[in-house]
Amino acid sequence: MTRRVGLIGWPVDHSQSPAMQTAAFAACGLDWQYTLLPTLPDQLRATLDQVRAGELAGANVTIPHKSAVMPMLDEIDPAAAAIGAVNTIVVRDGRLIGCNTDAIGFARALSEIGVDVNGKQCAVLGAGGAARAVVHTLKELGGRVTIYARDVSRARTLIGGDEQTRALRDVDRVACDTVLIVNATSVGMAPQSDGSPWPDGAVFPAGALAFDLIYNPRRTRWMGQAERSGAQAVNGLAMLIYQGAAAFEMWTGQKAPLEVMFEAARGALQAAAAKGAS
């Protein structure tokens, strides 16, 4: 019998997770299916009831539910509890366990780029579930983090201390010694690709890396702004793959076929770009 997992969120149409997970299941000979589960906030408990009823063998969780889902689960693993957000649900003996693979994915992607944040200044734009995983990872790696968010009080719950939180409108005041700026907002994500959390004309610190968690489109307006300031810019595709691979392994108990997942995600993004251009 086909086993189903899916992505709980709103919106979810932009996601490339179905392409990469379906390819991974096929490569491993697994009769599994990955589906999108568009879920408004007032529908979240009902969607989780589908998992409890055995209709789904697990799920990913995306905006805006990564924190809201936590009290509805039976158990939260220590990493997700420390982060304050869940992006993967695993079913064990009928119990729904909340996990977080975003931190795993971000740490691995950052390691591949070769950025050393130990003792260095980092900036994170946003204070949602993805930002929580990023901040947790950077602090674990010894980074000094300042959060820029629309809701400053919410940002303070992530990191503590008024001196480490700023309003998002003040990103043009990012410290000149900042080595890494992470966009953990959804601003600029398809289909609203013309948006950016960065003010026009604001300069990125020299030598900083701009890491956009958005991967659709592959090159966001924010990345373009960074590159025009002389900064290096990367998108969130590698983080997507690595967090998805960790979830795959939690659900199936098998090693994720990373090359297959990368190829499938790139192909899906190219197809989406071509469709948008037509």
Q: Once rounded to an integer, what is the mean pLDDT over residues 235-247?
A: 97
Give residue 131's pLDDT: 93
**Residue 66 annotated to the active site:** yes
Domain boundary assignment for the chain? 3-100+238-277, 103-235
Contacts of 149 (CB under 8 A, 6+ apart): 125, 126, 127, 131, 155, 165, 166, 167, 168
Model pTM? 0.93
Which whole-number Å values give the CA distances from 44 to 50, 65, 70, in the listed order? 10, 8, 11
What's the confidence (pLDDT) of residue 163? 59
Q: Is there a contact between 257 and 24 (Cβ–Cβ < 8 Å)?
A: yes
User: Residue 162: which pLDDT band, with cuts at 50, 70 and 90?
Assistant: low
> Would the CATH topology of 3-100+238-277 be identical to that of 103-235?
yes
User: CA distances (Å), 87 to each of 100, 162, 255, in order?
Assistant: 5, 28, 19
Residue 127 in this model has a pLDDT that exceeds 60: yes
Element (H, E) at 90: strand 88-92
Which CATH fold topology does 103-235 show? Rossmann fold (3.40.50)
Mean pLDDT check: name the lowest of 39-53, 59-73, 99-113, 198-212. 198-212
Q: Per the residue annotation, which of 66, 120, 139, 255 is the catalytic one?
A: 66
Domain 3-100+238-277 has CATH 3.30.565.10: no
Question: How much is the average pLDDT of 211-229?
Answer: 95
